[in-house]
A and B are shown apart, each in its own frame.
Chain A
Amino acid sequence: MTTGQEQRRRLRGKNIAVGLVLLALVVLFYLITMVKLGGV
């Protein structure tokens, strides 16, 4: 695997991880909001 391919693979992995973290935060903030508003 060349350096370019390896870098792209690592960048893709990082992007997926950041995306998952952001998704988890959205879910978390949604749940916190629901609890604070007394809906859950």
Chain B
Amino acid sequence: MAQVLSKARLDTLPGRQAGQSELVDYWRLLKPNVMQLVVFTGGVGLFIAPGSLHPVLAFVAILCIAVGAGASAAINNAYDTDIDRVMVRTRLRPTASGRISPADALATGITLAIGAVTVMALAVNWLAASLLALTIAFYVLVYTLWLKRRTPQNIVIGGAAGAFPPLIGWAAVTGRIELMPVLLFLIVFFWTPPHFWALALYRRKDYADVGVPMLPVVAGVETTRRHILGYSLLLAAISLLPSLVGTAGWLYLATAAVLSGMLVHGAWRVLRTASDREAMRLFKFSIVYLFGLFLALVLDHAAQLWLLP
């Protein structure tokens, strides 16, 4: 029997909309939403670093950070295909729905990773390239392969991978690691647990179904809510450090104080109301929080440059 595959049928593959090409699937494989955040925090690290970098090389550095993040995401997608198929949140991912095979996703990820690190090393500097390689390796080996399915501390330790981009951006300009980018690293590092635990509270059944030991699944929702509040308080304190050590100014300090107050209040509401809706609200606000904090750093830095005699 002659097999006829209509375009309409191809378009009805799960997760693919009418007229959408395979290229869009490859774009989605790179988790563009995560990439946005990584590009932004890396870009801020690059912008506020002392010294200057040629605009072309700055663009290349940001591009390499973005491609490195995409590479990590593609490899993560390849490895997690089995659980992504089951989870509601991830079942439409290109690998989970069968539109891209895990082998193709893995090949794409490895190719992009090698390309991003090589170009960073040749065009920018070896420190930035080494940090980028470390970030990719950490996300893939430590988070995806080792921690994610074994311990509720998966996103606490694994969160370091997402915290490296400001360091990479800074290192791209200066060729050094200094206190300020380390503080930015700590901000993203301590931001990650409350951010993901808020999501995990809302999606805990999903994680339980696939056996991923997220904190709400292993320790219960009450413990998770307490952890969210604890980490939010810690994050609030750390977020003030860039101003307290004198690297950032008053604009940043005021913004960090207000945003952190709102974050802690949100975490407190999650604990007090025991509501999943509040958890989802906190998850969404945590994204605004990080963008707001880093945007304030940029504006603060720009204001300082403008006020210089």
Binding site for B on A (CB under 8 A): 1-3, 6, 10, 13-14, 17, 28, 31-32, 34-36, 40
Contacts and interface: CB of A to CB of B under 8 A. Distances in A.
A35 B57 contact: yes
Given A13-B22, A13-B23, A32-B123, A3 B57 contact: no
A3 B5 contact: yes
A18 B119 CA distance: 18
Nearest to B54: A35
Interface residues of B, number: 18
A31 B56 contact: yes
Nearest to A24: B63
A13 B5 contact: no
30 contacts: A1-B5, A1-B6, A1-B7, A2-B2, A3-B3, A3-B4, A3-B5, A6-B5, A6-B10, A10-B21, A10-B22, A13-B21, A13-B22, A13-B23, A14-B22, A14-B23, A17-B23, A28-B60, A28-B119, A32-B56, A32-B57, A32-B60, A32-B119, A32-B123, A34-B56, A35-B56, A35-B57, A36-B123, A40-B54, A40-B56
B122 interface: yes
Contacts of B5: 1-3, 6
Chain A binding site: helix, strand, loop or mixed by DSSP? helix
Interface of B: 2-7, 10, 21-23, 54, 56-57, 60, 63, 119, 122-123
Contacts, number: 37
A17 B22 CA distance: 10
Which of B3, B6, B54, B63 has its CB near the most chain A CB atoms (within 10 A)?
A: B54
Contacts of B22: 10, 13-14
Contact of B122 (A2, A31, A32): A32
Q: Which 5 A-B pairs have the closest CB atoms?
A: A32-B123, A3-B5, A35-B56, A35-B54, A31-B56
Contacts of A2: 2, 4-5
A22 B40 CA distance: 26
A35 B4 CA distance: 53
B60 A6 contact: no
Contacts of B119: 28, 32
A34 B2 CA distance: 56
B22 to A, nearest CB: 6
Nearest to B123: A32
Contacts of B57: 32, 35
B28 to A, nearest CB: 14
Given A6-B7, A13-B21, A14-B23, 7 more contacts: A1-B5, A1-B6, A2-B5, A3-B4, A10-B22, A13-B23, A34-B56
A14 B24 CA distance: 11
A2 to B, nearest CB: 6
Contacts of B3: 3
A19 to B, nearest CB: 12
B126 to A, nearest CB: 14
A11 B54 CA distance: 38
A36 to B, nearest CB: 8
Nearest to B7: A1
